[in-house]
Amino acid sequence: MIPFEQAFEMVMSRARLLESETVPLRAAAGRILVQDVFCDIDMPPFDKSAMDGYACRRADLPGPLQVIETIQAGTSPMKHVSAGECAKIMTGAMIPQGADCVIMVEYVQLDEDGRIRFNAKDTATNICSKGEDIHSGDLVLPKGILLKPQDIAVLATAGCATPHVARRPRVGVIATGDELVEPQETPGPSKIRTSNSYQLCAQMEAAGAAVVYYGIVADTEDALDAVLKKAMTENDVILLSGGVSMGDFDLVPGVMVKNGLEILFDSIAIKPGKPTTFAVGPDVYCFGLPGNPVSTFVQCEILVKPFLYALMGHSYRPPCFRLPLSETFRRKHADREAWIPVGITEDGSVQLHDYHGSAHINALCGAAGFIVIPTGATIIEKGTPVSVRPI
């Protein structure tokens, strides 16, 4: 049994960067950028109006001012604004020469002679200056980031219409267990529906993988061997659920070895997920995850997901909030680090949830995140600040 940090290091140090590909902007969200992106223009590219109103000289306020032209967004001003003059201007339009502020249309009244007058006390400049956000040549997005919708806007602005991103890792998901049936079936006596299959597929897809589901495999060496062989030729990463514990029919590690995979560890000092197994081959990584659904979820989240991102060149740093515990936490056995699902109350304290252990299928549905109880700790007093890792 090795500490989780050691297992994590062993896994992460094995990650070899996948190739890259280009994608259209519409397909880039959620992908990992593998190029530095520089902007080829100033933003804004010209001094522009932040308001609908009148571009004028501050010294001339409150007027009256003669309106000399109307400037629409997308058209250039034709005239210079001189003393006693203004140009009607729309948001996003170029500021005419001579003007040093824009008065908002809401604070303007029309005189009988057609001139306008500013009727508020004071005004902001209401001009966005050329290059105030981005200068031409600036690095706007560094390689290695996970592209979020707001980054897509920056790519578009920088003219990066087909960004280079990491290829999606191919991930094969295999559920093992003679007791399992697919969700559309009604389980017979002693059977249950496979939930891990779909949980793992969803977790991996959310992290950017291209997932193939190989279905349920019986607990026999031959059945496992056949599916693993096939999956090894088709994937970068294979996730097996179940079959890695101490039972007579936990055959996964043996079949991994038979297929030439080297097992780097088969037990982590963590709860849930102790029998988590990691094996590598020349072209494939293979995780044997424990069958209980909370174990599978947690190990996929804290071990597999960062690894998947590392394959794509992204350093995954999950957010972490430090909040006080709303009640005292107690446990009897402290030989392993424990990950406990929690909620967060409206006043910002950490609430322990009803949690029956790693088989508690719906324990995570209402949870906001996990707290980590260190090895050796049996009690954490109410009010102690704890770190919450959101789910």
- The residues binding ligand AMP (CB under 6 A) are 175, 177, 179-180, 192, 194-197, 241-243, 245, 247, 250, 290-293
**Which CA distances in Å does 74 have to 45, 70, 92, 93, 94?**
12, 12, 8, 6, 8
272 binds, among Mg ion, ligand AMP, none (CB under 5 to 8 A by kind): none
In the complex, minimum distance from the CB of residue 177 to ligand AMP, in angstroms, rounded to a whole number: 4
Residue 253: name the closest of 219, 230, 283 by CA: 219
In the complex, minimum distance from the CB of residue 195 to ligand AMP, in angstroms, rounded to a whole number: 4
Q: Which residues of 345-354 are buried (b: 16+ CB within 10 A; e: fewer)?
A: eeeebbebee
In the complex, minimum distance from the CB of residue 359 to ligand AMP, in angstroms, rounded to a whole number: 6
123 binds, among Mg ion, ligand AMP, none (CB under 5 to 8 A by kind): none
177 near Mg ion, rule: CB under 5 A: yes
What is the gyration radius of the CA atoms in the chain, in angstroms?
30
175 binds, among ligand AMP, Mg ion, none (CB under 5 to 8 A by kind): ligand AMP
In the complex, minimum distance from the CB of residue 175 to ligand AMP, in angstroms, rounded to a whole number: 4
| CB-closest chain residue to ligand AMP | 291
211 binds, among ligand AMP, Mg ion, none (CB under 5 to 8 A by kind): none
Pick between residue 177 and residue 293 the one whose CB is nearest to Mg ion. 177
275 near Mg ion, rule: CB under 5 A: no
Q: Which residues of 110-129 are buried (b: 16+ CB within 10 A; e: fewer)?
A: eeeeebbebeeeebeebbbe
195 binds, among ligand AMP, Mg ion, none (CB under 5 to 8 A by kind): ligand AMP
What CA–CA distance (Å, rounded) separates 108 from 235?
66
DSSP 179-237: TEE-TTSPP-TT-EE--HHHHHHHHHHHTT-EEEEEEEE-SSHHHHHHHHHHHHHH-SE
Is the omega angle on the peptide bond into residue 187 within 30 degrees of 0, that is, cis?
A: no
288 near Mg ion, rule: CB under 5 A: no
In the complex, minimum distance from the CB of residue 214 to ligand AMP, in angstroms, rounded to a whole number: 12
Could you list the residues that contact Mg ion (CB under 5 A)?
177, 242-243, 291
